[in-house]
Amino acid sequence: MTYPIRPIDESEWPAYTRVLDEGFNWRPQPRQAERWKAQTELDRTLAAFDGDLIAGVTSILSFTMTVPGGRLPVAGVTSVSVLPSHRRRGILSALMRRQLADVRERGESVAALYASESAIYGRYGYGRASQSLFFRIDKTRSAFVKNAPTDPSLRIRVASPADVRADLESLFASVATRRPGRYDRKPAIWDDVLADEEADQHGNGPLRSVLAEDDGGLRGYALFRVKADWDTNGLPAGELKLQELEATDPAAYALLWRSILDRDLVSEIQSGGRPVDDPLIALVADQRRLCARMHDELWIRLVEVDKALAARAYSASVDVVIEVEDDVCPWNAGRWRLTADPAGAKCKQVEDEPDVTLPVSALGSAYLGAGLLAESLEAGLLREHTPGSVRALATAMSWSPKPWAGLVF
């Protein structure tokens, strides 16, 4: 069977959300649904139809994302689901192919997503491009190293997040350009970040904020909730759930973390996803106390290989012919010469013998500056025809700081 695919219109919103309800086992409360709808771009929201029934869906949020050396438009793929009754009929594949063709037509060379199931998206050319750490920290063992940065001009101020929203937005915009993977936040996204209905709290209390500032203004903020609790001996056993912590400089960053770690009536701090090179790792004196687990974060897909590779910066010079395997976006399949140095990059299609053959997902994985090119070679997932070419490519594509988006879309 074939399932016609087209963008939905306003009248089809309820049917669209029912597919996601079934797929994700989550039914938002009315205010949550309103915020979700406000972020949705209906003209970029595709549905596959079985007669009048919406059987599968996917959507895109239009972002500007930081990549090594700059920023570029990126298609943020989200809300991908197929009704349980219509699985294994090719609906997901048809949706993903149509979506990628639409992304190319709009002139976006890169797509990105968070994967609810990490085994799915490699088959469509996405590669795991960043990871995040989730910390559980015993506050009694959270002392900093003696040379942790300080600034006597800084002070901490407690504020209601809603009251300082404009300041939070401005500070975030100033730091989002520093790390690959960070993307711009439109007002509807900030509505979600600062949402504080009971359904948003999940039993963890109201959203709180502390600010690090000096006479010149805001230099950092932290957003968090505290789940109050007491143990059987009557001792405080609260859990602080850190949602975000952003700062413009090391002293403000250290002061904010110190404020979080020293919170009264709290015994444990749990952080949301943090970058794998989070400076907190260097600040804490006893690093073994930073109990952390790692999770995949952004997945990246090069929609147009030549444009995407030419749009980013490189850490070292490289001249390599890459044979790209891509059966989902056939316009990418072929041989491409990447010539790059820290001053700029060019990528053009050639007929030269390749130095390395790889799936397009491997380039997506490496695109933001991390990736697993060397590991994939050792695993036999890449074919190196010119010795040393994979190492040269991996070195050139590496970047510091490591990629991290910090907010699921």
pLDDT in tens, 238-262: 999 999 999 999 999 999 999 999 9
Helix (H) or strand (E) holding 39: helix 30-39
Give the separation between CA 227 and CA 126, rounded to whole angstroms.
37
Per-residue CA distances from 33 to 147, 195, 199, 301, 329 (Å): 47, 12, 11, 28, 34
Residues 6+ positions from 388 with CB-CB distance below 8 Å: none
d(CA 40, CA 77): 11
How big, in percent rounded to 5, are the helix, strand and coil portions of the chain? 30, 35, 35
Structure confidence by residue, pLDDT tens digits, 295-324: 999 999 999 999 999 999 999 999 999 999
In sequence order, what are the beta bridge partners of 291? 136
Q: How many CA atoms lie within 13 A of 100 on its CB side?
A: 25
pLDDT exceeding 70 applies to what percent of the chain? 100
d(CA 38, CA 236) in angstroms, rounded, equals: 40
pTM score, whole prediction:
0.96
Q: How far apart are CA 100 and CA 169, in angstroms?
A: 31
- Whether the link from the prior residue into 68 is cis, omega within 30° of 0, is no
Q: Give the C-alpha separation, 161 to 201, whole Å.
A: 14
pLDDT at 114 over 80: yes
Beta bridge mates, 206:
none
Alpha helices in 288-401 (DSSP H): 305-310, 360-366, 373-378, 389-397
The per-residue pLDDT for 272 is: 92
Tokens of 400: 């510091």
Q: Is the per-residue pLDDT at 346 higher than 90?
A: yes
The mean predicted confidence, pLDDT, of the chain is 97
Buried b (16+ CB within 10 A) or exposed e, 92-107: bebbbeebbebbbeee
Helix (H) or strand (E) holding 64: strand 53-67
Query: Mind listing the pLDDT tens digit for each residue in 19-75?
Result: 999 999 989 999 999 999 999 999 999 999 999 999 999 999 999 999 999 999 999
Report the C-alpha gap between 382 and 359 in whole angstroms.
8
Quick one: how far is CA 42 from the chain centroid?
22
d(CA 274, CA 243): 10
DSSP letter at 402? P
CA separation for the pair 176, 169 (Å, rounded): 10
User: pLDDT of 148-192, one tens digit each?
Assistant: 999 999 999 999 999 999 999 999 999 999 999 999 999 999 999
What average pLDDT does the segment 103-132 reach?
97
Question: Tokens 């040393």 — which residue?
Answer: 388
Confidence band (pLDDT; 50, 70, 90) for 1? confident
